Structure 1
Amino acid sequence: MLSFSNFGSAKHPLVDLVQKAAEIVKRKAPGLVIEGEMQVETAVVPEVAGEHFPFSKIQGDANVLIFPDLQSGNIAYKLIQRLGGAEVFGPILTGMDKPVHVLHQASDENDIINITAIAVVDAQRQQSLEEQSIIEPSKLPVS
C-alpha cells in the first residue's frame, strides 16, 4: 500500500491511515501478500527494498499498487499512460451491487474496446452468480 513514507519513516495522519488500511487487509485476507505503507521505489525497485527493507515480503516485485486515495491513483495512472506510453485499462470500479464502468471524455477507440471487454466479463460473471443462486440444491444433478 503506497504512501510517501516507508514503514513508519514519517509521522503523519495520512501515514497512519495507510497503516490502518494495511492492517485491516491483513486481518481480513491473511493469505494476501500485502505490505505498507511504502513508497513506490520500495514497491517496485528490488535494490531499494533489499538494501533498506530486507524484512519486507515485497522486495521490489509488487504486482499490484494500492494508492492511498482516488486522486493519487488517478494522477499516477494518467502520468503512466501519457508520459510512459503504457496502455491502461480502467477505471475499474469494484464493490458495487452491479457492475459499473466509466469512460471519460478523452477515451479513444482502444479505451472503449477495453472497457467493453471488461464489462462483458463482469456481466458473464454476474449472470453465472445469479444462476448459481437460483438453482436449488435438490434440483442439482446427482453424480
Structure 2
Amino acid sequence: MTEYSPNACLALGRIADEISAGGPSGHEFLVELGYRVAGIPRGWQAWAVLATGGRSRIRGHGFRAELFDGTGGQARHFAGTARAVTLLGEGATLWISAKVRRDSEDSPDGQLTRLAVDFAAALLDGSLPAHESGDWIRDHLCA
C-alpha cells in the first residue's frame, strides 16, 4: 500500500527511527528500509524488484531543492539505492546509476544516489549507527 505524505522525506526519517528502535545491524536496517519504503523483498527476490526500480510506498515531497527531481518518488529512490548497496556494493551501484539509469552526478537523482550510497556504506561499516539514521536522513535530505 502506498502512503501519500506531504513530506515524504520526514516520513522516510520516521520509518528509519521505527526500524532502528529494534536494534538492527546496518545490513538488517537497509534490508528493512528497502522493504518498507521501496517494496523490495527481504529475500532473494530483491534482485528482480531492484531491476524494475521497486515501487513507491511513500509518495510526496519534502526533499532539499537540489535533490528534488519533480516527482514524488525520491523516498523510493533513496531507499532502493541504499538497499542495492547491500547486494551490489558501492561501486556497482554508482556505475548502474550513471551508465544504466543515466543519472548524471550533478542531477537531483545523481546527487540522491551518491547520498544513498554514502548512507548505506556508513551503516554497513558501522560508522553510522542505525539509531542515528533518522537524524542523518533529516539532516542530509530534508528541506
TM-score (norm 2): 0.30
Give the structure with higher Rg (CA).
Answer: 1
In terms of fraction of residues, the more strand-rich structure is 2
Q: TM-score, normalised by structure 1?
A: 0.30
More helix as a share of residues = 2
Which structure has the higher relative contact order (CA within 8 Å, separation 6+)? 2
